[in-house]
Structure 1
Amino acid sequence: MRAPSSLRGTAPVRQGPHRPDLAIAWKVPAPRPGWRGAVDRFFGPGPTRVEVLVQLCGIPILGVLVLAHVASVGVQLHWWGVIALAIFTIDALGGVLTNSTGAAKRWYHRPGTRGERLRFVSLHVVHLALIAILVLDQQWGWLALNAVLLLGLALLIEHTPLPVRRPVAMGALVAAALLSATLVPVPDGLGWIAPLLFLKLLVAHLIPEAPFASVDDATTA
């Protein structure tokens, strides 16, 4: 998302007398050298300590909740399906949290990055294919519908005017989840797979948000 010209390239700016406790950090920190730079370019450079902590704590907590849900309904999978589902779950949960951070918002919504975002979304058709083959016993209809929903709604969101992009994305998420569950139902206990991926990509990744930071906690990790 392009910041207003008066804010672009500056340090965090206070947002007026109504919320003096908040700042918006528009400036994208330079990626670090070496292998740390590759990490920065994937997750977004300059996360705060609190953002890192939320990710480190949130992923295992949510992962345990997913595991408890799957176990409670007695989902039966081959060993390769268990591995595939575990990898997908960690990636999707991590993506929901990471793509919601200010660091990721600054990085993935830099001017001129629409193509980069859409390519990122497109790569996740591979995730859907692996789930369809390894977890859902080759449910090609599930793969086809969810791939079309993911790519079509991603294009819709990216070409929606910015002032209404967020509510359109939220509506797209609800519609996609309902269509997937209604038209290509999956075994009990696995219906969360497609909605979780839609949440990661259509909302957490594609929606530009102001990278808010507490004025008192603006130190980066």
Structure 2
Amino acid sequence: MDPSMNNLLKWSIENSVPNPDTTTDTSNGAPATTAAPRAPRSLSPTALHRLLLNTPSDSELMKNAMETIRSPTASLGDKITAFDNLEQLVENIDNANNLGMLGLWEPLVEELGALEEGRRMMGAWCIGTAVQNNEGAQGMLLSKVPTALPTLFALSQNDPHLTVRRKAIYALSSAIRNHQPAMDELLRHLPEDVKKEIGESIDASDMDNVDRLVNRLRAGAGS
């Protein structure tokens, strides 16, 4: 659920049911007493804003952005704007974790194969932002789209545009840090000469060795 809407739901429930802390017992003839009322849950400014103005939730905004990105009638400029909006939304960990539930991982990864340079670059950028320091999103990317990492690796080394190669490396770096399954998956797709140089296995929590791998990818990308 969208985090601000979840906050609104909890606020609504807690403020619409009797407070158990104020229940009194007069069965023994004693006068009724009232305990101090429980402090109500605060309503987040974002949830309050949406309640008053009926604005879309983050989940709706994410789905709308993807609809524009995938629309055959939207201009490239509109698609890039939608990508930019999506990238900002998935900076929020809750939103990034919702990508799987909303069915957005698959179409997002498919954008890595788009004809336009800008779409490939923005697709990689969104992926990198969503999985950065987010174990849940790292695992979801791997389970939802197992081809994502080899696709990003191919882009990082072979795409004709440097901007795309750089964002693909950013996405790979974000995906493998502190996430061993993603690291192992990437290593399986590296050329033998690269494996000989950096080793057959890398501990995803060893940042020095992770940086060595990322720097090797950058060297191969000419960046």
Q: Same fold (TM over 0.5)?
A: no
What range describes the TM-score normalised by the shorter chain of this pair? under 0.3
More helix by share: 2
Quick check: which has more Rg, 1 or 2?
2
Higher relative contact order (CA 8 A, sep 6+): 1
| TM-score, structure 2 as length reference | 0.27
TM-score (norm 1): 0.27
